[in-house]
Amino acid sequence: MPGYRVPLDDIRFVLDDVLDIQTHYSRFEAGSAADSDTVAAILEEGAKFVERELVPINQTGDAEGCEWRQGGEVITPAGFKEAYTQYVESGWPSLSHPEEWGGQGLPSSLGMTLSEMSGTANWAWSMYPGLSHGATHTIETHGSDEQKTTYLNKLVSGEWTGTMCLTEPHCGTDLGLLRTRAEPAEDGSYTLTGNKIFISAGEHDMAENIVHIVLARLPDAPEGVKGISLFIVPKFMPDANGGVGERNGVTCGSIEHKMGIHGNATAALNFDGAVGYLIGPANEGLKCMFTFMNFARIGTALQGVAHAEWAFQNALEYARERLQMRSLTGTKAPDKAADPIIVHPDVRRMLLTQKAIAEGGRAFIYFLAIQADLVEHATDEAVREEADQVLGFLTPIAKAFLTEAGFEAANHGVQVFGGHGYVREWGMEQNVRDARIAMLYEGTTGIQALDLLGRKILLDKGVSFKAFRKTVAAFCREHRGVKAAAPFLRTLRWMMLEWAYLTFRVGLSARKNKDAVGAASVEYLMYSGYLTLAFFWAQSAVAAARKLEAGEGDADFLNAKLDTAAFYFDRVLPRTRGLKAAVLNGPDTLMAMTADHFGR
C-alpha cells in the first residue's frame, strides 16, 4: 500500500529558516498566539491526524467512490464521514478563523500547513472542508451582519460545509453566459432557478447542512459579467434556533463519473425555486466571488505540491528497494543480484525533479500564505498594499505552474515504478488521475496565463510585477555575501532582467497584434513559474548555507537542500531557454492556418 509521512523537517525548515515565520507573526496581533510551541504542537498533531485517519482511506476511497442515490442523496466512501467527524471534534476547521465566530484566531498561513498535510494524505477527502474555507471567507468579507450571525459559527465549526456554484453546462469559463435566474420575493429573499455543474463537494453525507455560494442573474441585470449577482443558498433552511430546518429547493441531479478524485462528489445541482439571499451589492457578484476564487486558486496550487510530495515519497522508497541492472560506473550492491535503481542517472533525474517541485513549491505556497496574512492583518497601509500586489501577481503563476509541475512529478512517479506504476495497488496511477484535474478547475492553465499576461502585466502596467521584482532584488542584495548560494543569486539577478526584457517585448508586439498576448501567454507563464521557483530555491539555499556556516541543524538535510538547489538551477531552470524562444517567435505560425486547413 502506498504511504505518506508528513515531512515535518522540511515544513519546519521552510517556516522557520526560509520564511522566518516567528518574526512575521510578531508583526500583527493575530500572530501573537502562534508562538513556536503552538506552531510545533499544531504541526505534530495535524501530522498524527492525517497519517492515522486520512492516508488509510485514500486508496479505498478512490476504489469505492461516491454513490448517488435516487432523490439526490450522495453517500461518501467508507471512513470519510467518520474521519470528518473526528476532524470537527478536534477543532481543526476553526483553526484560522476569527474568535468572534468561534474560531481560534490563528493566522491563515498556519492553516495552510494543515491544508497541505490533509491534501497530500487524501486530496478527495480534503476538498470537503477545503471548499468551506472560501465560502466562510466570502460571507465574512461581503455578508450582512444577519448573514454572518446565521452562517459563520456553523461553517467555522465545521458542522456545516460550503461550496461555490459558478459554471453551467453551456458556460465553461465564460461566466458572462450564465442563465441561472434570481427573482426577488416579497420577504427580501430571492427565488433561484437554474442548473450548476462541476460543484466539488456539492452534495454529501458528512455534514448536516451545505451552504452554497451561487452566481445568478437578477431580472433587470445587464448582459455579460456586469449583470451577475451572488447569493447564499443553503441546502436546508436555518431554523429559528440556528439549526437545520426545512429542505430548500436545491437538489443533486447527478454526480460526475470522473477520471480521478473519486472520493469527492462533483455534483450537478438543480435549483428549482430555491430560496437564496443576496450577498454583496446587486450585479457585483463576480467581484465578490473573486474573494472565493482567489482562495480556491491558491488551494489548487497547493494540490500540485501535494501530488508532487506523494509521488516523491513513494517513488523514493521504491527506488531504494527495487533491484534492476548494475550501475554504469561499477557495482554498487555486490551482495545483491542487481543494484537498486536509485543508482541510475535517469531515475535520479526523476526523483530530483519531484523533490525540487515539492519542496520548492512548498516554499512558494507558504510565501503566498504570508502575503495573505499581511493583506488581512498588516496595520501599515504600504505593507498591506505591496503584499496585495505580490499576491495578486503570483496567484495565477502558482495555480498554473505548480499544477503543471505537480502533474509532471506525478507522472515521474509512475515512470520510476515502471510497469508496477501502471498497476492500481501501488497508488501511482491514482496520483496521476487525481493530479490531472488541477490544471482544469479554478481556471485552466491557458486562462491563468491570460490573467497573468493580459491583466496582471499589461492592463496593470506592470505595477504588481515591479513589486515582486523589488522583493527579489532586495533578497539578492541582502544575501550576496552567502558564498554557497552566490551562483544561484547571480543567475537569479540576470534572469530577472531577462524576464523584464521578455515582458517588454511581448507588450510591444501586442500593440501591433493583439493575438501576440494569447500566443505567448502559456509559455510566458511557465517561464515565469520556473523563474519564481528559482527564487524560492535560492532562498532555501541561503537558509541552508547559513545554518551550515553556524554549525546548526542536520548537516545531511541542509547539504541535500544545496544539492537540490544546484540540480534545479543546472537541470530544470534551463527549460526557460526554449520557452523564451517560443514567446519571442510571436503568433504568426499559430494563426497562419485557416480553420478549414486543420484537418487537411
Catalytic residues: 442
Q: In 179-216, which positions are buried (b, 16+ CB within 10 angstroms) versus exposed (e)?
A: ebbbeeeeeebbbbbbbbbbbbbbbbbbbebbbbbbbb
How is 441-487 classified by DSSP, letter by letter? TTS-HHHHHHIIIIIIIIITTTHHHHHHHHHHHHHHHHTTT-GGGHH
Contact between residue 74 and residue 265 where contact means Cβ atoms under 8 Å apart: yes
Give dist(CA 158, CA 150) in Å, integer: 14
| DSSP state for residue 530 in the 8-state scheme | H
Contact between residue 60 and residue 79 where contact means Cβ atoms under 8 Å apart: yes
How is 554-573 classified by DSSP, letter by letter? -HHHHHHHHHHHHHIIIIIT
List the one residue out of 59, 123, 53 whose CA is nearest residue 87. Answer: 53
The gap from C-alpha 360 to its chain's centroid, in whole angstroms, comes to 14
Q: Which amino acid is at 31?
A: G
Give dist(CA 79, CA 125) in Å, integer: 10
Phi, psi of 72 (to 5 degrees): 95, 10
Cell of 237: 433552511
Radius of gyration of the chain (CA): 24
Look-up of cell digits 521557483: 533
Contact between residue 215 and residue 175 where contact means Cβ atoms under 8 Å apart: yes
| DSSP state for residue 182 in the 8-state scheme | E
Look-up of cell digits 496565463: 449
Give dist(CA 577, CA 580) in Å, integer: 5
First CA to last CA across the chain, in angstroms? Answer: 48
- For residue 544, the number of C-alpha atoms closer than 13 Å in the C-beta half-sphere is 24
How is 333-384 classified by DSSP, letter by letter? -TTSSS-BGGGSHHHHHHHHHHHHHHHHHHHHHHHHHHHHHHHHH-SSHHHH
List the one residue out of 463, 469, 539, 456 whose CA is nearest residue 500. Answer: 469
Give dist(CA 477, CA 484) in Å, integer: 15
Give dist(CA 296, CA 299) in Å, integer: 5
Contact between residue 520 and residue 598 where contact means Cβ atoms under 8 Å apart: no
